[in-house]
Amino acid sequence: MKKPAAIDLFSGCGGLTLGLKLAGFRVIAAIENNDVAVETFRANHPRTPVWSEDIQKISARGLMKSLDVERGQLDLLAGCPPCQGFSILRTKNGAARNRDRRNGLVSEVLRFARAFHPKAIMLENVPGLRTRNSFQELCRGLRRLGYKIKIDVKDAADYGVPQRRKRLILLAGRGFEIQFAPPLPNRRTVRQTIGNLPRAEQARDSLHRLPQNRSKKVLKLIRAIPKDGGSRADLPQSSQLKCHENFYGFNDVYGRMAWDNLAPTITSGCFNPSKGRFLHPIENRAISLREAALLQTFPKTYFFPVHAGKEAIGLMIGNALPPLFIREHAIQIIKSSRKQRNDTDRKKGRLN
């Protein structure tokens, strides 16, 4: 039986595509306009063609023609519009309301849905998207097209991802409901995920051994943080950095991960201890970019271009959809679609 076909609208480095593949989909096209992300995607998914341009400039009908896909034929349209415009991280430090120009990209999902009229749609994003007008307009538009929608906020930790990561997920079936995946029985820990890696300086993996340059003052602070879950809050005031005095924003900065617990949400600043609880449980360094990718559930062999630099790679990893989280819900899409098809076939049989 031919695998169901999917399109990844905002592919990034390929987390969503990998999750769909693990569930049993074949991803027939991806769209991404960041050059480094496109390079990474193509290296890991060489058989999936990528349209490397602004999605707003791509003709949905032109894409259908290129892929030789008729309206209503596509099994799944999936995507995660850039979430920076909806994230509380952008305003947590007291900044003004976030007016990111990327907020309007949610409407692109509806534009492609109108053209392709796929059997199912999946959208994933930060929980803050749920209250935005653009998301409400998307939902109204999908219902007018005949989709039955289910929306919820799920913690990726319940689906095999070893970090706390709450995400909004929308599942829509054309004329049928798609149930969310049930939580898995066990949660995966930091130790289970990165505990067997060699020390970074001894690794053959270039992504794991990327050097970390810290000042003597910062290194002294890192060494003082108690192992296995310790925090700068455990230190006396005399040991605190000057910039942390009377600061009440991100309290987890310069904190260590705990071996037998979940990691914090992996963000684009995951290689920098000043951005969150990103210190290694026992080594006096931030987690490596390979460790960050593993905590996002990318496999050890997933390629990231070291030449692009830490910031570019950290951005891709932090923005990626955890493949195992996507896999579980994508499996449910396949199950629900098959059930719908079987129910339709039975009704036709009775009518005949």
Q: Enter the CATH code of domain 5-187+322-351.
A: 3.40.50.150
Beta strands in the chain (DSSP E): 5-8, 26-31, 50-51, 76-79, 120-125, 147-155, 166-174
Strand partners of residue 279: 256, 286
The 3-state DSSP class for residue 6 equals: strand
When computed from its CA atoms, the radius of gyration of the chain, rounded to whole angstroms, is: 22
Task: List the catalytic residue out of 83, 139, 243, 270.
Answer: 83
- Count CA within 13 A, CB hemisphere, residue 30: 31
Q: Which residues contact 73 (CB under 8 A, 6 or more apart)?
A: 5
The candidate with the shortest Cα–Cα distance to 78, out of 128, 113, 40, 39, is 113
Question: How far apart are alpha carbons 77 and 172 in whole angstroms?
Answer: 10
Question: How far apart are alpha carbons 322 and 338 in whole angstroms?
Answer: 25
- What is the rounded average pLDDT of the residues 248-266? 87
Residue 229 and residue 279 in contact, taking contact as beta carbons nearer than 8 Å: no
Where exactly does CATH 3.90.120 map onto the chain? 190-318
pLDDT computed for residue 248 by the predictor = 52
Average pLDDT, the chain: 91
What is the DSSP secondary-structure string of 112-130?
A: HHHHH--SEEEEEE-GGGG
pLDDT computed for residue 238 by the predictor = 59
pLDDT tens, position by position, 270-295: 999 999 999 999 999 999 999 999 99
pLDDT computed for residue 275 by the predictor = 93
Angle, alpha carbons 294-298-299 (nearest 5°): 90
pLDDT computed for residue 242 by the predictor = 59
Where exactly does CATH 3.40.50.150 map onto the chain? 5-187+322-351
Report domain 190-318's class: alpha beta
Q: Is 83 one of the catalytic residues?
A: yes
pLDDT higher at 150 or 87: 150
The 3-state DSSP class for residue 90 equals: helix
**Residue 245 pLDDT > 60:** no
